[in-house]
């Protein structure tokens, strides 16, 4: 295997409490800690492990967004990616447009494997990997909890409702990663310093000649309704009465 392409999305750090903007136009990001999407970090860690086993030669980290996404790409380079590509755009793109961008990069870089997190924690759409597979006309394996490379194919154990399912796909392929695949490594200071010298290419989205007409647009955001206080009951009869009043039994 020559190349592995890994997507890294910039999202609000999972330890931060998400707040909706006062005008309902989106999520507040000003002054908020931003990080690599946790599922994408797992995808990169798996790519690094595949390379360390001698089953890949180059890992390319990709992010789509503004110049601030360089921070997440530099973190990816510090983890061990060989080079990075930032597709620059000031617009918030839908999943189909993002999949088209990854397709353009796949046609340009010709990777043997594209690893993506199964979903991003900011919108939880779980769509980009599947859309890329359809556009690229290559096999897909989603929700991977184990990946084994065997020459020109990959055996992927995936988590499904009934348990675990193992499938084999021909390479090149798209694989999306689940939480139990691995635990990402800790980035050390010397690696952060080395990452500053690794190549990071910036490509305006217009240069990829990708269709950016978006059939879906986000109208507004609002926080979930506050949970009602619980009701204390003294006995089983009181519990049944409370459930009946709510129409639950």
pLDDT means over runs of 10, the chain (249 residues) = 94 89 83 93 97 96 95 96 95 90 96 96 90 97 95 92 93 95 93 93 92 77 83 87 85
pLDDT reported for residue 223: 84
pLDDT reported for residue 232: 84
The string of pLDDT tens digits covering residues 8-60 is: 999 999 888 888 888 887 888 888 899 999 999 999 999 999 999 999 999 99
The string of pLDDT tens digits covering residues 85-100 is: 999 998 888 899 999 9
pLDDT reported for residue 81: 97
Query: Which residue do the tokens 């409702």 mark?
Result: 161
Dist. CA 111–CA 60, nearest whole Å: 9
* 151 C-beta neighbours (distance < 10 Å), count: 8
**109 φ, ψ (degrees, to nearest 5):** -90, -25
Q: What SS3 string covers the chain?
A: CCEEEEECCEEECCCCCCCECCCCCCECCCCCCEEECHHHHHHHHHHHHHHHCCCCCEEEEEEEECHHHHHHHHHHHHHCCCEEEEEECCCCCCHHHHHHHHHHHHHHHCCCEEEEECCCCCCCCCCHHHHHHHHHCCCEEEEEEEEEEECCEEEEEEEECCEEEEEEEECCEEEEECHHHCCCCCCCHHHHHHHCCCCEEEEEHHHHCCCCCCCCCCCCCCCCCCCCCCCCCCCHHHHHHHHHHCCCC
Query: Which residue do the tokens 């995808």 mark?
Result: 43
| CATH architecture label of 3-245 | 3-Layer(aba) Sandwich (3.40)
pLDDT reported for residue 76: 96
Tokens coding 41: 């970090």
pLDDT reported for residue 84: 97
What is the pTM for the complete model shown?
A: 0.86
């Amino acid at each position: 295997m020559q190349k592995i392409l890994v997507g890294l999305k910039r999202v609000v750090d999972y330890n931060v409490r998400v707040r909706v903007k006062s005008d309902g136009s989106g999520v507040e990001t000003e002054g908020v800690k931003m990080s690599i999407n946790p599922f994408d970090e797992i995808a990169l860690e798996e790519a690094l492990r595949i390379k360390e086993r001698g089953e890949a030669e180059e890992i390319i980290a990709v992010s789509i967004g503004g110049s601030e996404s360089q921070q997440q790409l530099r973190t990816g380079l510090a983890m061990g990616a060989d080079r990075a590509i930032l597709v620059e755009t000031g617009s918030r793109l839908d999943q189909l447009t993002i999949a088209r961008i990854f397709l353009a990069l796949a046609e340009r870089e010709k990777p043997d494997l594209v690893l993506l997190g199964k979903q991003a924690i900011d919108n939880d759409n779980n769509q980009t990997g599947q859309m890329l597979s359809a556009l690229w006309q290559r096999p897909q394996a989603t929700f991977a909890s184990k990946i084994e490379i065997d020459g020109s194919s990959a055996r992927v154990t995936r988590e499904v409702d009934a348990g675990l399912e193992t499938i084999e796909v021909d390479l090149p392929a798209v694989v999306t990663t689940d939480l139990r695949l691995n635990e990402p490594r800790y980035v050390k200071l010397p690696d952060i310093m080395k990452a500053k010298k690794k190549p990071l290419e910036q490509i305006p989205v217009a240069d990829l000649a990708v269709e950016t007409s978006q059939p879906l647009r986000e109208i507004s955001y609002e926080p979930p309704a506050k949970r009602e206080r619980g009701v204390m009951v003294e006995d089983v009869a009181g519990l049944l009465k409370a459930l009946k009043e709510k129409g639950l039994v």
